[in-house]
A and B are shown apart, each in its own frame.
Chain A
């Protein structure tokens, strides 16, 4: 029996979208994986943060992240952080590459997730992020939203941004 199953896939159309949403997530799997390729319309930067919500909830999130750019490295904490979007200062046609691994998403424990996100801007800018996210809520995850940090400028995910949700079933 296959154990890595595509549940749903979203591609942003013309005009952009404020969020990419996965709703009515089946509760039959062990873990969830999201693979995403994202770009937003933040004008004054090369990149922006991806923000996540669970069940429409934006509270009770925390994260701890390490990053490197090829010249600098560091670490930060940012609630709801779920990777990076490429933004408008980047070369056209470049999108980020992210993986979120959400384990035991139906359990009654708080929900931990692993974040891996990278971008490379044609030899001039690039970032690698890996981190831990936590949603301090015991509810099963039934919906997931991906959006951008609008507090840093920008309002939509750009056309051709994509995200796919997979379910993983343990033995």
Chain B
């Protein structure tokens, strides 16, 4: 069977952390997929993906959110990252599933786009697309929150997909 969906790295926290970084990402795949189950230390904070430690105003995006009764769409500009979910939960009873896909991450010609689905059944669901306005290949990805840390038990997994 072709081995085209390969586990690259994973981190499960054993203590509280302010951020989680995947560095030295191999440049031998076509696309990347991150699966995140973050447990916040406070509720309500949003959640970002940052590329190659770029903390500048080099990110833009839009999001579609729904809370079980209303749907909303908005454009955002956040310095230092792409928003991938807008509502962390404090506690293990409702850990969100966040799926992030980055296509063609290693090319040095185009800006890089990230597509994320962040889902917390108790609060809302969010579909986001963001752009990192850099033609650099992505060699590291950092996940962090604007106003929360990640609790022990938070898990983050990286997979590589290789085109035929």
Contacts and interface: CB of A to CB of B under 8 A. Distances in A.
Contacts of B65: 66
Contact of B99 (A63, A101, A110, A134): A101
A112 B66 contact: no
Given A109-B92, A112-B95, A170-B7, A65 B122 contact: no
B6 interface: yes
Interface residues of B, number: 39
Contact of A132 (B5, B97, B155): B97
Name the residue in A4, A77, A132 with the highest tally of chain B Cβ atoms < 10 Å from its Cβ. Answer: A132
Given A66-B64, A116-B117, A132-B125, A2 B1 contact: yes
Nearest to A113: B97
Contacts, number: 122
Dominant secondary structure at the A interface: strand
Interface in A92-149: 101, 103-104, 109-110, 112-116, 130-134, 136
Given A66-B71, A77-B68, A114-B119, 9 more contacts: A2-B1, A2-B3, A62-B121, A64-B125, A74-B66, A112-B94, A132-B121, A170-B155, A171-B158
Interface of A: 1-4, 30-31, 62-66, 68, 73-77, 101, 103-104, 109-110, 112-116, 130-134, 136, 168-171
Interface of B: 1, 3, 5-10, 35, 37, 64-71, 92-97, 99, 117, 119-125, 127, 153, 155, 157-159
